[in-house]
Amino acid sequence: MTSQRSQPNYFPVLTGVRALAAYLVFISHYDYVFDEGFPQIVQRFFHEFHIGVTVFFVLSGFLITYRYFNNFHLTKDWFKQYLKNRVARIYPMYFLLTTGAFIYYHYTHDQGITRGFYSPVLLYVMNVFFVRGFFSQLWDTGIGQGWSLTVEECFYFSAPFIFYIATKYKKFYVQPVVLTALGFLLVLIFRNVDWYGFFGNFTFMMLYTFLGRCFEFFVGIKLALVMLDKGFSRTNNIKYTYIGFILIFVFVAIMAALPIPAGWRAGLQHPFGIILNNYLISSAIALFFYGLLTEDTVMKRVLATPFVELLGKASYIFYLVHLGYMYNYLHTGWDKLNDVAFELYGKWGVDWNSPFQYDQLNLVYAFIALNIISIILFKFIEEPLNHYIRRSGFLIKPAARK
């Protein structure tokens, strides 16, 4: 196995990919702006851009494995340091923005935050501790898109044990099979229990829990193991970047053509859609990453530019704020500006169009504003808190510098 010291530790291109993934999810949540003037299949195609979440999962599997596989130790101090790093990276902004969501609910009683749950306080606790992601009736409460962090956190806790089993018992490929089988078993046990949909059905388990989506992380893990073993040089000129990229969207197009099951909202929730998303698209994403890491292409140069890299660093916050109360405030602001514009036109006696009367333009304004907000929050809150926690005595005291 190649020493990780001879390998790069940071990949600007993969940071840029984070921005791409977040923007795909953004498009999937606001596909309604394509209602007018676009064929339904085009809207369906954009609606399936939730695959940005799959990009995040594969990327997490790759990065965690690449950084920790060669030096993991199932000791108390190592595990504390590992968890400290994960908390510093993920938790501060999630906690602050989730708290903001429930403060917003306190003043607005927006049921999009609580989904009618009887106790907002208990639900808040379930959100800040990532527990709501195990319940099909509560998974999209608080910051709705934050359900994916429950999946991420399950992977973070599992990763050292996945590495241990893979190295000590040489059982790598069997692990996702066992984990998915465990998910099926939990559904069989709990699907008839009225407990807010705890592992309530197979579709929920396969799409919104780590047990169902573990394969996406294992694809990233496998890619990291290949890179650690063989390095970044190649002897062929096959453009894996573009092959992987094209395959991703071919699979998305197939998913968009699938019938939507009753009670669901996307082709993703069709049984074949689950296979496409969890297995085929994740494999195509890994191929895309392999190309980005081993080839020099225009796409790689664009994704690795300093500006796109900055957008990628702020993409975690963008993902958390692009849907929900932050966007609601912006949308309300555009409506007020639209009213102001027409009031002014009335006073001036002109019949002009308002720059805030079109949904498509308002979405562009929101996209730009959310990116600016995300960069500001990253620079002045997320990054400083991340560094502070890593230097603090939380969980374990930092090692003394020699």
pLDDT of residue 3: 42
pTM equals 0.95
pLDDT at site 6: 54
- Give the model confidence (pLDDT) of 340-392 as tens digits: 999 999 999 999 999 999 989 999 999 999 999 999 999 999 999 999 999 99
The first and second tokens of residue 319, run together, are: 């993902």
* 163-184 average pLDDT score: 95
More confidently predicted of 184 and 2? 184
Confidence of residue 32 (pLDDT cuts 50, 70, 90): confident
Q: What is the pLDDT of residue 302?
A: 97
Q: What pLDDT, on a 0 to 100 scale, did the predictor assign at position 400?
A: 55
* Long-range contacts formed by 110-118: CB under 8 A, 24+ apart: 110/325, 110/328, 112/144, 112/324, 113/141, 113/142, 113/324, 113/325, 114/141, 115/140, 115/141, 117/141, 117/196
- Under the banding of pLDDT at 50, 70 and 90, the label for residue 2 is very low
The DSSP annotation for 37-100 comes to: SS-HHHHHHHHGGGHHHHHHHHHHHHHHHHHHGGG---SHHHHHHHHHHHHHHHHHHHHHHHHH
CA 138 to chain centre: 18
Boundaries of every domain in the chain: 40-301
pLDDT at 5: 43
Residue 255 has pLDDT above 60, yes or no: yes
Of 54 and 38, more confident: 54
Q: Per-residue pLDDT averaged across 275-295, rounded?
A: 98
> What is the dihedral sign for C-alpha 10, 14, 16, 19?
negative
What is the spatial distance between Cα 62 and Cα 384, in angstroms, rounded to a whole number? Answer: 25
Is the model's pLDDT at 197 over the cut of 60? yes
When pLDDT is averaged across residues 130-134 and rounded to a whole number, the result is: 97
